[in-house]
Amino acid sequence: MTREERLWQKLLDEAGEELIEQAAAVSVAQAEKDLAAWGFDVAAERARAEAFLVSLETAVADEEDVAQAVPQEVALRKKPRPAAVWVAAAAAAVAAGTAVTYVATRPVEATSPVTPPSTGTVAPSTELAAAADLRHRAAAACDTGRTDECRSLLDQAAAKDPAGDTTPEVQRLRKKAAANEAKPK
């Protein structure tokens, strides 16, 4: 893995951890309020989850009834699972699904609890992250033959991170864009 790839991965990991921390800090009441504001019917989903839990409890109860009717020798081979395990698993699945939906639909701009004071300059790590994102988008544009967009994005990235423009990957993208431009259309 190259230095640039490690840096990109580190930036992605940090962004993911920040989003997880932000999602974990949200109260249930606030999460429900936000989900309702985005058109998510919390009451209907809760009702679906409760119906699912009831169906699991019914299935477990039916399994226990069958197990009691089976001869002792067969019953020893497979013991019924306790209902609590199924209920806990279902509750965890519902909670995880709700959390994923919440994090995936939550606007990033609205999640920042504190706005840092403006100093008139952007932090270097933010500039590097923005440049890395621009280069990533440039690669996609170049791969799909959008040469002008590719060059423009590379130029914007170079303005934010001039050192990154000298990497072999960026030089390869610039050559590819030039080659695509030279091809007859």
Output the CA torsion 81→83→88→90 (10° steps). Answer: 90
Identity of the highest mean pLDDT range in 53-62, 74-83, 152-161, 176-185:
152-161
Report residue 63's pLDDT band, with 50, 70 and 90 as the boundaries.
low
- Alpha-carbon distances, residue 97 vs 18, 77, 147 (angstroms): 19, 34, 40
Cα-Cα-Cα-Cα dihedral sign, residues 51, 53, 56, 58: negative
Q: What is the overall mean pLDDT for the chain?
A: 74
Q: What is the pLDDT of residue 33?
A: 82
Percent of the chain with pLDDT over 90: 4
CB contact at 8 A, 128 and 102: no
Q: What is the pLDDT of residue 128?
A: 82
Q: What is the pLDDT of residue 152?
A: 92
Least confidently predicted of 67-71, 77-81, 109-113, 138-142: 109-113
pLDDT digits (tens, 9 = 90+) for 89-136: 777 777 777 766 666 666 544 443 444 444 444 446 688 888 888 988
Least confidently predicted of 3-12, 64-73, 152-161: 64-73
Structure tokens at 152: 């423009």
Report residue 56's pLDDT band, with 50, 70 and 90 as the boundaries.
confident
146 or 28, higher pLDDT:
146
- Determine the average pLDDT of the residues in 140-148: 87
CA distance 185 to 182: 9
Structure tokens at 62: 């039916």
